Amino acid sequence: MIDTSAARALMADSLGFHIIFALLGVGLPLVILLIEQLGLRRKDPLILEHAKRLSQATVILVVAGVASGTIISIQMSLMWGKLIEFGGPILGLAFGWEGYAFMLEAVFLAFYVSTWGKVRGWKHWLLGVPVAIGSFGSALSITLGNAWMQNPSGFDLVDGKVVTDDVLGALFTKTAAFMVSHSVVGYYLATVLCVLGIYAFYMLRHKPKRDDRVVVQIIMFRLGATAVVLTVVTALLGHFQTQYLAQSQPRKFAAIETVEQTTKNAPYIIGGGWTSDGKVEGGVKVPDGLSILTGNTPQTEVKGLNDFPKQDWPMLFINVLFESKLLLVAFVAVIPLAFIVLHYRKLSQRIRQWRHSKPMLIALLPMGLVAIIIVELGWMVAEFGRQPFVVNGYLRTADAYSGSGVGGWGYLFPVLYLILFASTGTALWLLFKRKGKIKPTKGLL
Summarize as ranges the residues that interact with another protein (CB under 8 A). 59-60, 62-71, 73-79, 81-82, 84-85, 87-93, 95-100, 102-104, 106-111, 113-114, 164-165, 167-168, 402-405, 409, 412-413, 416-417, 419-420, 423-424, 426-427, 430-431, 434
H/E stretch holding 287: none
Strand partners, 119: 116
> 326 or 420: whose CB is closer to another protein?
420
| Local structure of residue 347 (DSSP, 8 states) | S
Please, what is the minimum distance in Å from the beta carbon of residue 76 to another protein? Answer: 8
Q: How far is the CB of 163 from another protein (least distance, A)?
A: 9
Q: In angstroms, give the least distance from the CB of 174 to another protein.
A: 21
As a whole number of angstroms, the distance between CA 288 and CA 5 comes to 39
Give the span between the Cα atoms of 194 and 425, in whole angstroms. Answer: 13
Nearest CB to another protein, comparing residues 328 and 416:
416
Smallest separation (angstroms) from another protein to the CB of 376: 20
Buried b (16+ CB within 10 A) or exposed e, 198-224: bbbebbeebebeeebeebbbbbbebbb
* Cβ nearer to another protein, comparing 74 with 362: 74
* Residue closer to another protein (CB basis): 91 or 185: 91
Q: What is the closest distance, in whole angstroms, from the C-beta atom of residue 220 to another protein in the complex?
A: 26
Nearer Cβ to another protein, position 284 or 430? Answer: 430
Closest to another protein by CB, 271 vs 436, is 436
Q: What element of type H or E holds 157? A: strand 156-158
Rg, C-alpha atoms of the chain: 23
Q: Which residues contact 42 (CB under 8 A, 6 or more apart)?
A: none
CB 1 to another protein: min, Å? 18
- The residues near 318 (Cβ < 8 Å, ≥ 6 apart) are 252, 255, 256, 380, 381, 384, 385
Query: What are the counts of helices (DSSP H) followed by strands (DSSP E) for the chain?
Result: 15, 8
* Nearer CB in complex with another protein: 202/413: 413
**Considering the complex, what minimum distance in angstroms separates the CB of residue 80 from another protein?**
9
For residue 396, the cross-strand partners are 389
Closer to another protein by CB, 125 or 253: give it.
125
Half-sphere exposure of 163 (CA within 13 A, CB side): 6
Describe the crossing of helices 81-114 and 121-150 by its angle, rounded to 10 degrees.
170
Environment class of 443 (CB within 10 Å of its CB; exposed 0-12, middle 13-18, buried 19+): exposed
User: φ and ψ at 155, to 5 degrees?
Assistant: -155, 165
CB of 416 to another protein, least distance (A): 4
Nearer to another protein among residue 320 and residue 431 (C-beta): 431
Closer Cβ to another protein, 322 or 432, answer by number = 432
How far is CA 177 from each of CA 28, 96, 145, 238, 384, rounded to the nearest angstrom?
A: 22, 19, 12, 12, 20
CA dist., res. 77 & res. 293, Å (int):
40
Residue closer to another protein by CB (options 154, 440) is 154
Cα–Cα nearest to 238, from 330, 360, 131, 345: 330
- Ramachandran quadrant class, 407 (left: phi over 0; alpha: psi -120 to 50; beta: rest): left
In whole angstroms, how close is the CB of 402 to another protein at the nearest point? 5
Question: Which residue number, 97 or 202, has a Cβ lying nearer to another protein?
Answer: 97
Distance (Å, rounded) from C-alpha 257 to C-alpha 196?
Answer: 33
Q: Are 374 and 405 in contact (CB under 8 A)?
A: no
354, 242 contact by CB (below 8 A): no
